[in-house]
Chain A
Amino acid sequence: MASVFEAKEVYKYFGGIKAVDGFSMEVDEKQITGLIGPNGAGKTTFFNVAAGIYGPDRGEVSFKGERIDGLRPDQICQKGLTRTFQIARGLGEMTVWENVMLAPKRQSGESPFGAFFFGQVRHQENEHWERAAALLQEMGLYAQRNEYARNLSAGERKMLEISRAIMTDPEILLLDEPTAGATVDETKKIMAEIERLRDERGYTFLVVEHKMEVIMNICNPIYVMHNGQNLAVGNPGEVQGDQQVREVYLGG
């Protein structure tokens, strides 16, 4: 199986804090790879390095065999890697439809001159909305399409964020705690949606969680991160049976 995303010996220190301390991982195509670890393990920092918000101090991040460390977040997204955030960052003072319609890449109306090619803009907007409307229906957000994003519930904001990420047509989606703040029902729905997207559309996912039970069912393989380093890797059964992982999670 081909790996699309690879991190080799990534280091990121903040002063004396070793947030990511030589972490390596690979994500295979059309798989839902999990990344777990206790709070403060360095998962989000690793995500930020992968998505270009920070450059790594040392190490390599590559996507489809091409180095992406050192690129800006927007350049990395243009290459096909989109990430979401742990705390759902809705663009609050924008409506739900504006949020999803923002995401498609290479919109011709996204330049001060392109905005005045009326026919082309209209055509593209129609195309994008057709896709976006179908997606919002799947995600159960269609009824709220004209609401401001700030009026959505925490779970709905998570769904909106995932929808927005999907609208960028990514090849790999990095989801940072997609169920944080969601209710039990919403968590199930979000997880089911992720599996469906993998099965039906062939998306590749890298999902960060600190609640183990949430991703045990859908992720394979699972990487365990602790103090910024690799602790274990394997299928859910192996990870759950690992003595070190049990110690970190259950305190021995």
Chain B
Amino acid sequence: MEYIISLGSWVLTIGTIVAIYCILGLALNLHFGYTNLPNFGIAGFFAIGAYTSAILTVPHRFLEMEIFAGFPGGIPGRIEAPFIVGILAATVLAGFVAFLIGIPVLRLREDYLAVASIGIAETIHFIALNELWLTIGSAGIRLIPMPFAILWPRYARPLFFLLVLLVLAIVYWVISRLVRSPFGRVWKATREDETVTASLGKSIVRSRMWAWVIGCAFMGTAGSLWAHYAMAIQPGEFVPTTTFLVWIFVIVGGLRNNKGVLIGALVIIGLFEQGTRFLPAFGAPYVVPALRLIIIGVLLVVFIRFRPQGVLPEKATTIEDHMKTI
């Protein structure tokens, strides 16, 4: 019985993390798979979402923790907004920041955009590290409330898992719908050839900007879910490694295929990155954890060499199917 309970909580833990990563992966697929915007700044928008939600919702009690003796005091712990406000604000703010950044950055060719986006994410990381009044710096924000925890503490984790699944379903549906719609065609055309697309009367700037903003906003949503799940965040989590993990599972799962992204997240994040976290040390406590990331790296190389289209490649929709589903 105890075994079942611990297995259950293991599945819940990993399931929640995988579902949050799925949202990041779908957003990246919208950026890179459908519109050819290589976003290497995922961690940055993830951080904006997480911090926005955390700052807005963390209870005042947080400021009374002993570590804050003598702390000048800032914004966190003064608003105590409910979760729903946190997640919506996280989404909107991540999208808005993406819009502002997008004005100069989206003019760049894709390779330069990739470099610029890493820079943006690192900038956001350092803001989180240094703007103490806003983010408390390297100590991070703790006591972030998990929704349902006060009402039904016993079921908070399973309920939160369901909530994350619900958000994932919404994000999946919205992105799939957009990609299938006439607007999605413009995105794909932008990816294929900008000059041709512009010559057919489509504004490239508008097409790229919307894809960028929508994807980044969903990364913010994922950040909010992460903050409320982990209940504590600190700047060290929002580093390029997080970004690269998302890239890896999207490439392995199947760029340009949303189902492939979900499979990629399940395999890479679920089985390797998280699923093996609690493996016994087999007598070599430093080797096994390090091995996990090595395996993921090797897997990436194998896929890029032998199956660059991923587990599930892009599937062409026939016009007949399109007319039925649009």
Contacts and interface: CB of A to CB of B under 8 A. Distances in A.
Interface of A: 51, 53, 72-74, 77-78, 82-83, 85, 89, 91-95, 97-98, 101-103, 105, 107-112, 114-116, 118, 121-122, 124-126, 129, 145-146, 148, 164-165, 168
A122 B210 contact: no
A115 B181 contact: yes
B181 A121 contact: yes
A82 B188 contact: no
B323 A125 contact: yes
Contacts, number: 116
Contacts of B185: 94, 98, 101-102
A25 B213 CA distance: 44
Given A74-B203, A91-B188, A91-B196, A97 B322 contact: yes
Given A73-B199, A82-B199, A103-B200, A129 B323 contact: yes
Contacts of B201: 74, 77-78, 82, 103, 105, 168
B319 A145 contact: yes
Contacts of B195: 53, 73, 85, 89
B326 A121 contact: yes
Contacts of B214: 112
Interface stretch (B7-15, B257-265, B297-305, B310-318): B310-318
Nearest to A124: B182
Contacts of B188: 91, 93-94, 98
B204 interface: yes
Nearest to B193: A89
Interface in B172-207: 177-178, 181-186, 188-189, 191-193, 195-204
B181 A109 contact: yes
Interface centre among A72, A73, A85 (most CB of B within 10 A): A73
Contact of B318 (A112, A146, A168): A146
Majority SS at the chain A contact face: mixed
| A-B CB proximity, top 7 nearest | A77-B201, A115-B181, A109-B182, A91-B192, A73-B198, A97-B319, A107-B182
B310 to A, nearest CB: 14
A116 to B, nearest CB: 7
24 contacts: A73-B198, A73-B199, A74-B199, A74-B201, A74-B202, A74-B203, A82-B200, A89-B196, A91-B193, A91-B197, A93-B191, A93-B192, A93-B314, A94-B189, A95-B318, A98-B185, A102-B182, A102-B185, A110-B186, A121-B181, A125-B182, A129-B319, A146-B316, A148-B316
B183 A112 contact: yes
Contacts of B177: 115-116
Nearest to A91: B192
Nearest to A101: B185
A107 B203 CA distance: 13
A145 B323 CA distance: 13
Interface centre among B192, B210, B323 (most CB of A within 10 A): B192
Contacts of A121: 181-182, 326
Contact of B196 (A85, A116, A126, A129): A85
B188 to A, nearest CB: 5
Contacts of A94: 185, 188-189, 192
B51 to A, nearest CB: 25
Nearest to B325: A122
Contacts of B200: 74, 77, 82, 102-103, 164-165, 168
